[in-house]
Structure 1
Amino acid sequence: MAGREELSRSFGAVADVYESGRPGYPSEAVAWMLAPVRAEGRVLRVADGGAGTGKLTRAAVEFGAQVVAVDPDAAMLAQLRERVHGVPTFVGSAERMPLPAASLDALLYGQAWHWVDPTAAAPEAARVLRAGGVLGLIWNIRDEREPWVRRLTAIMKGSHAEEMLAAGDPPVGRPFGDLERARWRWSQPMTRDALFAMARSRSHVITASAQERARIEDGLELLCDEIGAVGDDTVELPYVTNAFRALRP
């Protein structure tokens, strides 16, 4: 079984699949994370930490922010540069950000904080944020109130993020105080190919044995047939977006 470090660094091998299979973020959720630092006529300085292929980067750019993207995987950043032009990219980690002190109004993490060491990442976030700056954490989680979505998770297996959020708020720690939390429910139309791409972009699947991957693919084939995800026909995949924010003292 792959260890946590191997899982967290596995996505670059399938960066194009990650880009096609993973959802973006609701604009309302990104606006909520940035709300404490937005001011009329002021351009926000924002970093997308664990930026991956730039799903959250794009959302921050749409708000008119001056954005930089940081990720430990150069292959993921290469995908980001193909799709988001004009955003500087840096190889780095949450525990060691390649950014100057007090240089940011907001530091955002999309589908990423569950991979970090919060005891090191929280002080580093505080270092790069200005006083009053916001640390924003966000995850898209499939809504398992829908029976077929529960079956999908059983086929693919649950993720570290899902397990962490099921247990409560994400750990952050000093110098940040209590987290504020907000939630949005929405859905995304998915074709059969998109559902397979989403599954193939997950760390457990990327690092699985050939036998385990075959089991997952067979299960997905059967599920897609049953729910009508055939050819170009789509099904609505429901999501719950969980967003958190905390201010730097």
Structure 2
Amino acid sequence: MSSSTTGGRPDDRHARLVLGSSFGGAAATYAEHRPDYAQAAARWALEHAPGSRVLDLGAGTGKLSATLVALGVDTVAVEPDPGMLAELRRGLPAVHALAGSAEAIPLPDNSVDAVLSGNAMHWFDMDVAGPEIARVLVPNGILAGLWNVIDDRVPWVDGLAQASGPAAIGPRDTLSSWRAATADIHLPSASLSSPFGSLEQAEFPHGQRRTAESLVATLTTRAGMLVMPAQEREAALGQIRAFLASRPETSSGEFTLPMLTGVLRPRRQG
């Protein structure tokens, strides 16, 4: 599902709210099985930031925060879901983690040099979140969204995407479609009223060690799967398991899921 920079129709906003609020009940599974982010992607996202104070917005269980900490970045995290926030605080006790949202950021004006978001920016209502993000950024601060996408140029990965269906692997989740799926849903950069400048996009090699069952567990943390009726979800997971069992790359033992971390980076103007 995608959201628009204008907030979308009321039914779109409701669907986004339902999907976006589905993760808390699976927070422990999310923390265990979702991948981190390529350090090279985070470095590129931050290369023009005027300082080192970074907000991880919509931080979830802290997957991106952990990458930022590994880079030595001064990180503050904001997450609206209590279950996800609890996992973040448990896993990264040294990170200053606050309850809040993209639409109501609990930080002062001009307090961070960059705002990064990992696999979360598509949940934001940018009519509200755009000005709020601009408020907490210093002049010329950086905003960047990061997405982990599977490399569907690899034949078996493309087959996995087809077998999984859009509830488990949607357009933002594959290399072939993530640019188009993200380029126009966040910041109206062409608008004269936008506080942000032109958009840049780039991808950085990444990967995750998985077994067939741990990959299935990862896919169960997708929002579309979390809200799916139990019987329908089990049927979908059975189809995914059957595909993984049919492929020599994934049928036994560990393998590397070929991935990239994609980055969408606009710059705060003024």
Q: TM-score, normalised by structure 1?
A: 0.90
- Answering whether residue 238 of structure 2 is matched by residue 218 of structure 1, we say yes
Q: Deviations over 1:180-210 (max 9, x none)?
A: 2211133222112320111110011111012
% identical equivalent positions:
37
Query: Aligned to 1:161, which of 155, 172, 186?
Result: 172
Confirm or deny: 8 A CA contact 1:141 1:241 kept in the other structure: yes
2:43 is matched with which residue? 31
Q: Deviations over 1:18-68 (max 9, x none)?
A: 1222111111110111111266xxxx1111001001010011112222211
More off after superposition, 124-133 vs 148-157:
148-157
Confirm or deny: 8 A CA contact 2:54 2:76 kept in the other structure: yes
Confirm or deny: 8 A CA contact 2:149 2:178 kept in the other structure: no
Confirm or deny: 8 A CA contact 2:209 2:254 kept in the other structure: yes
* Gapped regions of structure 2 (runs ≥ 5): 1-13, 189-193
1:51 is matched with which residue? 59
Helix, strand or coil for the counterpart of 2:47?
helix
2:22 is matched with which residue? 10
Helix, strand or coil for the counterpart of 1:127?
helix
How many angstroms does 1:167 deviate by?
Answer: 4.0
Helix, strand or coil for the counterpart of 2:266?
strand
Confirm or deny: 8 A CA contact 1:48 1:69 kept in the other structure: yes
How many angstroms does 1:10 deviate by?
Answer: 0.5
Q: Which amino acid aligns with 2:78?
A: V
How many angstroms does 1:168 deviate by?
Answer: 5.5
Moved runs in structure 1, 4+ residues, more than 4 A?
none
Helix, strand or coil for the counterpart of 1:3?
helix
- Seen in structure 2, the aligned counterparts of structure 1 residues 167 and 196 have a Cα distance that, compared at 3 Å, is closer
Confirm or deny: 8 A CA contact 1:119 1:172 kept in the other structure: no
Helix, strand or coil for the counterpart of 1:201?
coil
Confirm or deny: 8 A CA contact 1:156 1:205 kept in the other structure: no
Query: How far apart, in 2, do the equivalents of 1:168 and 1:110 lie?
Result: 13
Query: How far apart, in 2, do the equivalents of 1:65 and 1:57 lie?
Result: 9
Helix, strand or coil for the counterpart of 2:104?
coil
Query: How far apart, in 2, do the equivalents of 1:119 and 1:20 lie?
Result: 33
1:78 is matched with which residue? 86
- Answering whether residue 222 of structure 2 is matched by residue 202 of structure 1, we say yes
Query: How far apart, in 2, do the equivalents of 1:27 and 1:204 lie?
Result: 28
Query: How far apart, in 1, do the equivalents of 2:138 and 2:245 lie?
Result: 52
1:129 is matched with which residue? 137
How many angstroms does 1:146 deviate by?
Answer: 2.2
- Answering whether residue 156 of structure 2 is matched by residue 148 of structure 1, we say yes
Q: TM-score, normalised by structure 2?
A: 0.84
1:234 is matched with which residue? 254
Confirm or deny: 8 A CA contact 1:20 1:194 kept in the other structure: no
* Gapped regions of structure 1 (runs ≥ 5): none
2:111 is matched with which residue? 103
Helix, strand or coil for the counterpart of 2:84?
helix
1:246 is matched with which residue? 266
